[in-house]
Amino acid sequence: MSYFDAASSAPLHPVARQALLASLDEGWADPARLYREGRRARMLLDAAREAAAEAVGCRPDELSFTASGTTAVHTGVAGALAGRRRTGRHLIVSAVEHSSVLHAADAHEGGGGSVTRVGVGRTGAVEPAVYADALRPDTALACLQSANHEVGTVQPVAAVAEACRAARVPLLVDAAQSLGWGPVEGDWSLLAASAHKWGGPSGVGLLVVRKGVRFAPQGPADERESGRAAGFENLPGIVAAAASLRAVRAEAEQEAVRLRELTERIRVRVPRLVSDVEVVGDAERRLPGIVTFSCLYVDGETLLHELDREGFSVSSGSSCTSSTLTPSHVLKAMGVLSEGNVRVSLPAGTTEEDVERFLAVLPGAVAGVRAKLGAPVPVTVRQEDALVVDALGKLCPLPVIELAKVIGDVPVGGTVRVLADDEAARLDIPAWCAMRGQEYVGEEPADRGSAYVVRRVS
């Protein structure tokens, strides 16, 4: 079995396993106590904090260990907003942030605060100038991920941090995906990360609050971790997290070169091997191990099951893999195809043979899913000069399949109106037009769902 979903959770690093087992014997006591066992536990905790701080590029007393990366984000956002409540209640986030950041933004908005969600281009990156324009006199906090978790695009954190610093607004960076590859550049103010993303154990997060940043921890007061993480420290997990972070950093430069070559191989060869594929994300400014592509006329969940049967564990941002049946917010913000979306994220140690076998298996898996989907004969009628396709009650990719089957039946300059009530069609039909060189005219109201109007250009 080839595990290609390291962006969700990386396999436990051997160093993490060794440190975890060793600290179970040595680090079980309360590090706040003054007796011998407590002092030993405290030494382990202090050493782990110093190692993690060195990797992050901060002072040890600026770094707190939390119960998860999500907890670090929520604590960081809430504490920074509360600490700067006199400035205002305006929060800025990018539209492609991890759900933990977006959920924190929703909670802030629900409590009476205001939120600006900065859009991105088709590569998934924000424009620093656009981000800077969103800053206001009442902005209390800005948030920006260091790299995107779905498509691997690296964000211009340093440039955004410079703009925030000029406006005297703290910037919180979600560094979960990138911290294992290196420190985050720029003059950021707060940082959050999660150990299981770099090969540490789950249940350990990092929250860094730079000295001078106004910060007011929320919730009941607790004396541990500077009041930012209540409860007894998960000392074995913390020790293993710090040890594995140091270990992966030592391997990062060499491993990054190797994984970049493998992901570039996938980026280049998948469109040659499979028809109607869009590779998404920035081609250059991206993490070493992530490559994401979308296949037209494919149900994403079915494709993932097919690849699983072939021995490959991959993930997807497709609407079809979500219990809500709504498109990935990242792909939606980028304006790219959501159907048949596959994210390959290679863990350290992935072999060339694994990638070659994946490339050999993928075309047959896609072809099989397309065949199983059985693309139904579309129901079409003429309405004045437009062809109307009734795809009501059908989930994507079926509305797109039906559009593709009839676009050739209208003359150049003619239009097709696709009636659909699947939310994903709002994203996938414009994305299909961009891929196939047709003009997306727009969305019109209909008796049920919406009418998506497409003009044939070629």
3-class DSSP assignment, residue 52:
helix
- Phi/psi zone of residue 442: left (φ > 0), alpha (ψ -120 to 50 degrees), beta? left
The answer to whether 211 touches 63, Cβ cutoff 8 Å, is no
Query: Rounded to whole angstroms, how far apart are CA atoms 139 and 368?
Result: 51
Kindly compute the dihedral angle of the four CA atoms of residues 306, 122, 336, 90, in this order, to the nearest 10 degrees. 100
Query: Rounded to whole angstroms, how far apart are CA atoms 233 and 66?
Result: 8
Task: List the catalytic residues.
Answer: 320
Give the C-alpha distances (Å, rounded to integers) separating 313 from 98, 379, 398. Answer: 21, 37, 25
Query: Rounded to whole angstroms, how far apart are CA atoms 205 and 183?
Result: 16
As beta bridge partners, residue 387 has: 382, 416
Kindly compute the dihedral angle of the four CA atoms of residues 328, 334, 335, 340, in this order, to the nearest 10 degrees. -50
Burial class for 272, CB neighbours closer than 10 Å (0-12, 13-18, 19+): exposed
Rounded to an integer, what is the distance from CA 41 to the centroid of its chain? 35
What φ, ψ does residue 416 adopt, rounded to 5°?
Answer: -125, 130
- Structure tokens that stand for 53 in this block: 């701080």
β-pairing, 379-383 vs 312-313, is: unpaired
Query: Rounded to whole angstroms, how far apart are CA atoms 66 and 386?
Result: 58
Give the DSSP letter string of 274-336. SSSEEEES-SSSB-TTEEEEEETT--HHHHHHHHHHTTEE-B---GGGSTT----HHHHHHT-
Query: Rounded to whole angstroms, how far apart are CA atoms 427 and 340?
Result: 13
